[in-house]
Structure 1
Amino acid sequence: MNAQKRCLLVRLLLAGAGILLAQLPGLAAAQEKPVAGGTLNMLVQPEPPSLMLGLNQLGPTQFAASKIYQSLLTYGPDLKPLPSLASAWTISPDGLTYTFVLHKNVKWHDGKPFTSADVVFSADKFLREVHPRLRALMNQRVESVKADGDDKVVFRLKEAFHPFIYAFEVSTMPMVPKHIYDGTDYRINPANNTPIGTGPFKLKEWKRGAYIHLVKNPDYFKPGLPYLEEIYLRVIPDAASRAVAFERGTVDVLRGGDVENFEVRRLQKLPNVGVTTAGWEMFSPNLWLQMNLRKAPFDKKEVRQAILHAMDRNFVVKNIFFNVGKVATGPISSATLYYDKNVPAYPYDMAKAKKMLADAGVKPGDYTIKVLPIPYGSVWDRLGEYTKQQLEQLGFKVTIEATDPGGWAKKVSDFDFDLTMNFLYQYADPAIGVTRNYVSTNIIKGTPFGNNHGYSNPEVDRLLGAAPLLKGADARQRMYSEAQRILVDEVAVGYLVEMQYATLYRTKVHNLVTTGIGLNETLDNVWIAK
């Protein structure tokens, strides 16, 4: 399914949920002349634990830090690559060599020049060590990264790997300054608190619990940009208060998830308010229960299968996400390449779930399960409570662990959990966004976005490793289909919801969503009508 069809499908689904869809903010402004200046007020929730995008890829960090950091490419709504720090690129006929020509006169926020040496350091040293998604990709696929002069970088692959072109999105391969990080302990470098990027906005102030204040980078390499003078990312913990802030005009934009889905239908009817579901084409987030497979009773496949049968996923979509989303069937979202719907099904059946536990010789009353909800607001609290309720119906003893985003990330990173919820972005191709969650080589402490549940199956490792190397799409589909069948049968994680989002905005804000990464863009061409 191409990007236009995917976008149409999402629009039809959301229209059915009562969400009216406006024209893209970027298209609405096509006939108007941009105006420089102004302040854009947005929300960031929950407050990110860090703005150092190379070290932390939580959703709020990606959103906030993508105005500070950049990568070599960005991607259109059709997921075709577009220039960012690279002005041009070529791929050799054999698919082994990717050559990027960098924009000239790019500077870091401290005034130092950005060169090919920074790209080599970022991709081949810094991110290869600390970034879970890119680390796996670099170690498995990339033979070398070398500079060719100050303005050219050459990536040489071990073998042809067609999804590699998607690896240059900003949260996957953010550029970090070599002169600040080389030779240091990356994780405790003081610069992590005062991030230095090449982006159109610089960090001026972070008042914890109140706002993150970004200001215009006067040395930005794109002439005349950014249009905005400053951006405030305001921290408002309560969803109802965030809705009020938008209603009163305190904030200009609501990202998907900033308010309850039922509020979207009310707020979009306000005067001079637009809504769009565009900007998620690259991500297609897939939500699931993450069970620690190292711990009993989750080490038994039958237990995981029983738990999935005990979760009424239609109820979750309808009553927790208010129909903004659809039931997930497996590890690959239906809007992503190589999706296969022909996998084992787990209809809601509490009686069957209880019988499966009994047949497996598992006595639920012998176990106390700690449920660790993802700490992103009330919808996640409700999902945690619902999960607790369903597990208790199975006979387990259940407690809820409450934590903040930083605490949640540390617990998941350290494998210190029983059962949690997580959602991962798919990044256009399963080789980039999906494989990392299931291959045994990515069971590594230190990140919440790898194979933290400890799933290991040599056949899945083989299938996911070999599929992207095949030349034909049909051959790749066969391998990915088999991997999906195994993963769903074994309930590597408990697939729940294909998440969908709507963005609300004041119609005076133009060019807000123009690419496939939406509000995770730099926003360098956003402007506000006077």
Structure 2
Amino acid sequence: MSRVWKPFAFAVATMVLGSFSAGAQTPQKGGVINSTLWPEPPGIVLGINLNAPTLLPSTKMFEGLMTYDFDLKPVPVLAESWVIAPDGLTYTFKLRQGVKWHDGKPFTAEDVAFTFNEFLPAVHARSKTTFERVKTTAVDAHTVQLSLKEPYAPLIRSFDALSAAIVPAHVYKGSDFRANPVNQAPIGTGPFKFKEWRKGEYIHLVRNDAYWQAGKPHLDAIYYRFIPDSASRALALETGQVQLAAQTDIEFVDVARLAKLPNLKVTTGKGWEWNSTISWIEFNHRRKPFDDPRFRQAVMFALDREFMRTNIFFGLAKVATGPIQASSPFYETDVPKYGLDLAKSAALLDEMGLKPDANGVRARVKLLGLPYGELWNRVSEYVRQALGKVGIQVTLEASDVAGWGQKFGNWDYDMVVTFLSMLADPALGVSRTYVTSNIRKGVLFTNTSGYSNPEVDDLFAKAASNTDEAVRKQLYSRVQKILSTDVPVAWTVEIEWPTITSAKLHNVTINGFGPNDSFADAWLAK
């Protein structure tokens, strides 16, 4: 149960409103930052947990072989260098030497091989399908070789911490990965180590003095504070009690106002290139009337998504037209469009035989709301009102984060509010929601709707294995047209997430991961 938040003892000097100098741009040593984090995550081991609140603290403890810049080009992290064979079937990575796990054990190629061969395919909702294609061999202590049966174009963009955080084989091998006690006190290679998780209050990370990058991290510690009330989170930013808030930690209605304050910096979109988030209403196709595409189309015509963009997301979004975000090079504009049209919505419901009863009700359904704050409560309430206008009576269901994930993952819902990252390539972040092979009960962020279309499966498979970008674009164009007709989910908006920091906090947004980067380079001006 969450506790009511009260102002905490400052770990850094409280900042006063007004202008000040950020000081020299040379990174300064020391300092403790406080970040909002809401809701409290269900866990903080990457791969096992992929909820949005998990990512901020876990990416400070765990690392991948690579990270990616603003253009999503690879940048070495635990991998020092790599070579891809001309036929695209072999990837060879030279790993950094001298890297240690937080428990002092050496990081080796065995950790990478175990992570790719065993850990990720077992627990990672998204990367399972990627690493099931790959056989990883430890050639020597600091070299791994990945072998594929056929080329997989997006593999080179699959080695970041969120997609493939390396975990210690000596801790996990032979265990029940999800029940391993180390999950309560994670062991990674990152710049910060786990110190304490005080339930209902904070997660506390401290500097890794044995970090492999000499002189880093610059910060001494990070606290992720659980502040349930959105107004209190905004106030904590304004008064300097916290130095960082991102994504939905701050209500979108407050972003423009906070951007005007001289002690804060606000960016929108920048640093979220890897995420490319689309929000949607997901349908459970196993239940009627959601198994009929006409009902799903009727829902789309009943939603005023421009109203949602302007009045719920306060302009920090674009209307979504389908499964691939407009910023992607594979985006297709020539797809069926669903502007607000209550007459078309009603006609589709009539065609299905869903006639209004004496109370004007055609169907009674439930909507499981996303428990990530007031923004998402407003989304649920709007959907209830909008669908009511065409005779679809919606009952809202509330839940905490763990309950939401359990019901959603186990297909115990009619409709659910959610959002998902589309990532650097459709094969990584888009196909997982629609391909039949990824229907996996009990695992979040897979094909939870139960949608199945053999042609869609075939198109996604061909696009993933083809290395010709022009051919891939044609394949993804076709798949977008089919999905936009079938409407397996009701896409609403493409979100442009805000990141809000103290003006004294530097190097938060330095690549395509923004606040979900490692913070090895982040520093706080005195």
TM-score (norm 2): 0.93
Aligned to 2:3: none
Aligned to 1:314: 306
* In the alignment, structure 1 residue 424 sits paired with structure 2 residue 416: no
Q: CA deviation at 1:366?
A: 6.1
Aligned to 1:342: 334
Aligned to 1:246: 237
Aligned to 1:477: 473
User: Secondary structure at 1:308's aligned position in 2?
Assistant: helix
Q: What 5-or-longer segments of structure 2 have no aligned partner?
A: 1-20
Aligned to 1:123: 116
The superposition leaves residues 260-291 of structure 1 with CA deviations (integer Å, 9 ceiling, x where unpaired) of 22211111211232222311111110111100
Aligned to 1:466: 462
Pairs within 5 Å for 1:76-87: 76-87=69-80
Pairs within 5 Å for 1:121-160: 121-139=114-132, 141-142=133-134, 144-160=135-151
RMSD: 1.5
Question: Any conservation in 1 of the 2:332–2:480 contact (CA below 8 Å)?
Answer: yes
Aligned to 1:46: 39
Aligned to 1:505: 501
Aligned to 1:57: 50
Aligned to 2:274: 282
Query: Residues of 1 paired with 2:492 and 2:459: CA distance?
Result: 23
Question: Any conservation in 2 of the 1:439–1:461 contact (CA below 8 Å)?
Answer: yes
Aligned to 2:520: 524
Among 156, 174, 178, the alignment partner of 1:183 is 174
Amino acid at match of 1:334: A
Q: CA deviation at 1:211?
A: 0.9
Q: CA deviation at 1:31?
A: 6.9
Query: Residues of 2 paired with 1:471 and 1:81: CA distance?
Result: 17
Query: Residues of 2 paired with 1:54 and 1:355: CA distance?
Result: 44
Aligned to 1:328: 320
Aligned to 2:284: 292
Among 65, 71, 85, the alignment partner of 2:64 is 71
Aligned to 1:488: 484
* In the alignment, structure 1 residue 92 sits paired with structure 2 residue 96: no
Q: What 5-or-longer segments of structure 1 have no aligned partner?
A: 1-27
Q: CA deviation at 1:256?
A: 2.6
Query: Residues of 1 paired with 2:280 and 2:47: CA distance?
Result: 24
Aligned to 2:12: none
* In the alignment, structure 1 residue 165 sits paired with structure 2 residue 161: no
User: Secondary structure at 2:146's aligned position in 1?
Assistant: strand
Query: Residues of 2 paired with 1:191 and 1:220: CA distance?
Result: 20
Query: Residues of 2 paired with 1:256 and 1:437: CA distance?
Result: 22
Q: CA deviation at 1:82?
A: 0.4
Among 250, 265, 272, the alignment partner of 1:259 is 250
Question: Any conservation in 1 of the 2:22–2:503 contact (CA below 8 Å)?
Answer: no
Amino acid at match of 1:341: T
The superposition leaves residues 420-479 of structure 1 with CA deviations (integer Å, 9 ceiling, x where unpaired) of 122111111101110111000000012220000001000000001001322322211111
Amino acid at match of 1:84: V
Among 399, 402, 405, the alignment partner of 1:406 is 402
TM-score (norm 1): 0.92
Question: Any conservation in 2 of the 1:326–1:499 contact (CA below 8 Å)?
Answer: yes
Amino acid at match of 1:59: A
Question: Any conservation in 2 of the 1:440–1:461 contact (CA below 8 Å)?
Answer: yes
Question: Any conservation in 2 of the 1:306–1:352 contact (CA below 8 Å)?
Answer: yes
Question: Any conservation in 1 of the 2:22–2:504 contact (CA below 8 Å)?
Answer: no
User: Secondary structure at 2:280's aligned position in 1?
Assistant: strand
Amino acid at match of 2:204: H
The superposition leaves residues 54-99 of structure 1 with CA deviations (integer Å, 9 ceiling, x where unpaired) of 2011111112200011111000111110011111111111111111
Q: CA deviation at 1:363?
A: 4.0
Question: Any conservation in 1 of the 2:23–2:525 contact (CA below 8 Å)?
Answer: no
Question: Any conservation in 2 of the 1:72–1:85 contact (CA below 8 Å)?
Answer: yes
Amino acid at match of 2:103: D
Amino acid at match of 2:97: K
Query: Residues of 2 paired with 1:447 and 1:66: CA distance?
Result: 21
Aligned to 1:383: 379
Query: Residues of 2 paired with 1:529 and 1:78: CA distance?
Result: 28
Question: Any conservation in 1 of the 2:367–2:394 contact (CA below 8 Å)?
Answer: yes
Question: Any conservation in 2 of the 1:371–1:420 contact (CA below 8 Å)?
Answer: yes
Among 175, 179, 193, the alignment partner of 2:184 is 193
Question: Any conservation in 2 of the 1:29–1:511 contact (CA below 8 Å)?
Answer: no
Query: Residues of 1 paired with 2:485 and 2:363: CA distance?
Result: 24
Q: CA deviation at 1:160?
A: 1.4
Same amino acid, percent of matched pairs = 46
User: Secondary structure at 1:133's aligned position in 2?
Assistant: coil
Question: Any conservation in 1 of the 2:247–2:497 contact (CA below 8 Å)?
Answer: yes
User: Secondary structure at 2:254's aligned position in 1?
Assistant: helix
* In the alignment, structure 1 residue 218 sits paired with structure 2 residue 190: no
User: Secondary structure at 2:376's aligned position in 1?
Assistant: helix
Amino acid at match of 1:102: L
Query: Residues of 2 paired with 1:391 and 1:499: CA distance?
Result: 22
Question: Any conservation in 1 of the 2:97–2:142 contact (CA below 8 Å)?
Answer: yes
Aligned to 1:352: 344
User: Secondary structure at 1:251's aligned position in 2?
Assistant: coil
Aligned to 1:16: none
Aligned to 2:102: 109
User: Secondary structure at 1:467's aligned position in 2?
Assistant: helix
Amino acid at match of 2:279: L
